[in-house]
């Protein structure tokens, strides 16, 4: 298999370069997959972690997404960045749905829900407030329509612009702007009903 020259990780790949990686990855070229993975993993992780709480679980599901992608890469029909990310997000949606089905079939509670591994600097009160805020925001996001929810996640968790979200969701940038406006209005009403 051909070796790629060293690449500057701070530079986004060109369309041709990315398409070449996808074509080679379809033939299970490890070098090409090693180029695609670091490009996509932060975006998929942010997408997954915006849907669930808990770093270990988000990491596990992200890993499942890439295992599923590796198994199905030969059948991928697109070779551009937006199509590739859209395909990965679709796999992520399926993995998240599988997780929810397992959770409802066999609900489990952590031994200590207040225990979080990470930086010890925040006080217990800060962590409790942060968890309450996260629960409140997640509950409000769950009240949005699926399209509004997707737009909020892609715009604010993933940092995509309207054009990229439009490409991924198959809508026009104007429609994405309207969905975002409606979603933010709905979130405002849900999070602070006293000001409405």
Tokens of 106: 């066999």
CATH node for 122-196: 1.10.10.10
Helix pair angle (162-169, 81-105), 10° resolution? 70
Query: Which percentage of the chain shows pLDDT scores above 90?
Result: 25
Q: Where are the domains of the chain?
A: 11-108, 122-196
Lowest-pLDDT range, 69-73, 101-105, 153-157? 101-105
Give dist(CA 66, CA 33) in Å, integer: 10
Residue in 108, 121, 115, 175 with CA at minimum distance from that of residue 148: 175
Residue 155 host element (H or E): none
Q: How confident is the model at residue 11 (pLDDT cuts 50, 70, 90)?
A: low
At 76 the pLDDT is 87
User: 47, 92 in Cβ contact below 8 A?
Assistant: yes
Average pLDDT over residues 159-188: 88
Residue 193, helix vs strand vs coil: helix
Tokens of 185: 């209005």
Residue in 183, 193, 169, 156 with CA at minimum distance from that of residue 46: 156
CATH T-level assignment (fold) for domain 11-108:
Rna Polymerase Sigma Factor; Chain: A (1.10.1740)
Instruction: Give the tens place of pLDDT for each residue, 77-124.
Output: 888 898 899 899 999 999 988 888 877 766 555 555 555 555 556 777
Name the pTM for this structure.
0.59
Tokens of 183: 């979603």
Q: Do domains 11-108 and 122-196 have the same CATH topology?
A: no
Q: How confident is the model at residue 65 (pLDDT cuts 50, 70, 90)?
A: very high
């Amino acid at each position: 298999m051909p070796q790629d020259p060293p690449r500057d990780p701070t530079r986004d790949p060109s369309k041709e370069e990315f398409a070449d990686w996808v074509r080679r990855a379809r033939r299970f070229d490890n070098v090409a997959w090693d180029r695609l993975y670091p490009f996509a993993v932060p975006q998929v992780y942010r997408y997954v972690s915006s849907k669930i709480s808990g770093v270990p679980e988000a990491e596990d599901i992200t890993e499942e997404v890439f295992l599923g992608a590796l198994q199905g890469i030969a059948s991928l029909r697109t070779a551009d960045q937006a199509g590739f990310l859209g395909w990965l997000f679709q796999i992520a949606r399926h993995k998240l749905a599988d997780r929810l089905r397992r959770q409802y079939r066999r609900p489990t509670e952590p031994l200590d829900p207040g225990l979080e591994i990470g930086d010890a600097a925040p006080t217990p009160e800060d962590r409790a407030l942060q968890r309450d805020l996260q629960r409140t925001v997640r509950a409000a996001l769950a009240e949005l329509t699926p399209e509004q929810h997707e737009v909020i996640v892609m715009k604010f968790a993933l940092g995509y612009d309207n054009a990229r979200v439009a490409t991924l969701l198959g809508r026009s940038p104007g429609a994405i702007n309207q969905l975002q406006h409606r979603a933010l209005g709905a979130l405002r009403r849900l999070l602070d009903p006293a000001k409405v």
